[in-house]
Amino acid sequence: MLDPELLERITARRAELDELEEQLAKQLAEVRAERDELAVAERVLDRVSEQLADERASAAPAPGQVGGRPVMLIPHRTPDVEETMLPPDYQRILAAVRQAAGPVMARQVGEILGVDITVRAKLEPLRGRLVRLVDRGWVRKLPDGRFTTRL
């Protein structure tokens, strides 16, 4: 005859192990699902990174070197130099000057481009880019400080 107390302990332990097995199976399923999600995220990240690298490589003008440091070259305007050779920021600035009804101040260009013109630290770099475009012959600066496109 089996000891009822021993039989009860075996049954209780079997129930504990069954419950533990169920918990572990659930955790294993969750881990596998998360691993699958991470694998998908990793593939997406790889694709996006490759696309961004390709876009940057095709859109980035060739950097120059000044004092051993890379700098963006803004080409001088000549008949054989297309506006598309300008960096994208400069193309947008040039388009904003063209979009204006007439000569514009740097502040107005900033408004067109969506720059926070109340912050001097945001407006001054824009003014510097406008002056760089003037120096390279893309834009003309009038004596009163306004900018206009060249004809």
Residue length, the chain? Answer: 151
Residue type present at position 103: P
Torsion sign (Cα): 78, 108, 147, 97:
positive
Question: Quick one: DSSP state of residue 119?
Answer: -
Q: Nearest CA to 93 among 35, 133, 48? A: 133
The residue assigned the tokens 């900018």 is: 147
Give the three-state DSSP class for 38: helix
Q: What is the pTM of this model?
A: 0.53
The token pair that represents 42 in the structure block: 């990793």
Residue-wise pLDDT tens digits, 91-143: 999 999 998 888 999 999 999 999 888 888 889 999 999 999 999 999 999 99
Q: Nearest CA to 127 among 137, 136, 141, 114? A: 141
pLDDT surpasses 90 at 9: yes
Confidence grade of residue 60 (pLDDT, cut at 50, 70, 90): very low
